[in-house]
Structure 1
Amino acid sequence: MEHEADLIEELIADHREMGALFEQFDERPPGCIERKLLLEALTIELVRHAVAEEMHLYPAVREHLENGERRADYEIAEHSSMEERLKDLEGRDSEDRDLDRLVRDLRTEATAHMKDEERHLFPQLRDGAPPFVLARLGQKVREAKDATLPRAHPQAPSVPPPDKLLPRGLGLVDRVRDQGTNSGHPVTS
């Protein structure tokens, strides 16, 4: 029987995928359309991941860790900060002179958040929550992945534009978040 990833393993895999998208963005020359497509794919993945953590990880943190309420609230505040950075990037053209700086700032914040989770929060949760709980939550994340939008892939330029994936009307960050929270399933990467 094949091992299915638990919640923590699923979220760490998401972290690696987002890191790869940041690297691919950095590898593309300024002004090229692929950078804009990679940024849109990264936005989708970051928001989908945040929604998954808010729906599955942080309730487990609240339940199974001492000071879990405070820790979960802190993590959610970090998500809000990153989503504001993403919203600031939404209207930017691929040739915008501030784009590189803004993406670099986002990457710094997102990387620090992911490293902190992997070094501190995930080991604490692994020690505090029963393995069957983490396995069940990993399954919920996988089911949500199957029930929601297609995943952005490290070959992001081949991903359909977000306007083909999501309804119009709101900015990309809000549309992805709404898709995840209104579908009855979290939007995860």
Structure 2
Amino acid sequence: MSQPQRKSAEATKPKTQEAIALLRADHRLVASLFEQYESAKTATKKKALVAQICMELTVHAQIEEEIFYPKVKKALKDKELVPEAVVEHATLKDLIAQIEDVEPDGEMYDAKVKVLSEYVKHHVKEEQTEIFPKVKDTKLDLVALGEELAQRKEELLSKLK
């Protein structure tokens, strides 16, 4: 391949999101899905939204636990924020297990989705106000980390769809 052709191939490649931007985009997507759930009227629509919420949260938690958290923990020499986030993920996974692949059956189902939504909001707020600002002050290569997260996310999503 000649040099000009190589450059044009690179120009068409989508720009890599840095790690924090990628994770924030995930947070916005899930918040939007929870909002859609609030206004959903049919069990079919609710079930579809919950399936997507569970998939997005599961993949997001996995890429954070496998890639983001270990690097952040090391870079920050953290013994508090990351372990707390991992414990919060365990609770989220438990709530997901209670609603995933379950038929929407009234108020208890809606209550579990509501609690999951509130728990996710709490977790996101802590990440965005406590962890992310500290990560930005480290020497971590957030673009390379974003690329690593995006590749793993794509791999996990392709297995789930």
TM-score by length of 1: 0.72
The aligned residue for residue 153 of structure 2 is: 145
SS in 1 for 2:80: helix
1:107 alignment partner, one of 117, 120, 145: 117
2:31 alignment partner, one of 19, 22, 27: 19
1:126 alignment partner, one of 102, 113, 136: 136
Higher deviation after alignment, 8-17 or 86-95 = 86-95
The aligned residue for residue 86 of structure 1 is: 96
**Percent of aligned pairs with the same amino acid:** 26
Distance (whole Å) between structure 2 residues aligned to residue 28 and residue 86 of structure 1: 19
Deviation of 1:126 after TM superposition, in Å, equals: 0.6
Deviation of 1:106 after TM superposition, in Å, equals: 0.7
* Structure 2: gaps of 5 or more residues: 1-10
Distance (whole Å) between structure 1 residues aligned to residue 17 and residue 55 of structure 2: 22
SS in 2 for 1:19: helix
SS in 1 for 2:157: coil
TM-score by length of 2: 0.84
Matches within 5 A, 1:32-43: 32-43=43-54
Whether the 8 Å CA contact 2:63–2:153 is kept in 1: the answer is no
Deviation of 1:147 after TM superposition, in Å, equals: 2.6
Deviation of 1:91 after TM superposition, in Å, equals: 5.2
Whether the 8 Å CA contact 2:60–2:153 is kept in 1: the answer is no
Distance (whole Å) between structure 1 residues aligned to residue 34 and residue 83 of structure 2: 26
**Cα distance, 1:148–1:92 mapped onto 2, change above 3 Å:** closer
Deviation of 1:150 after TM superposition, in Å, equals: 4.4
Cα RMSD for the two superposed structures: 2.0
The aligned residue for residue 186 of structure 1 is: none
* Structure 1: gaps of 5 or more residues: 152-161, 166-189
Deviation of 1:70 after TM superposition, in Å, equals: 2.8
Deviation of 1:3 after TM superposition, in Å, equals: 4.9
Whether the 8 Å CA contact 1:61–1:71 is kept in 2: the answer is no
Q: Return the index of the structure with the highest Cα Rg.
A: 2
Structure whose residues are more often helix by fraction: 2
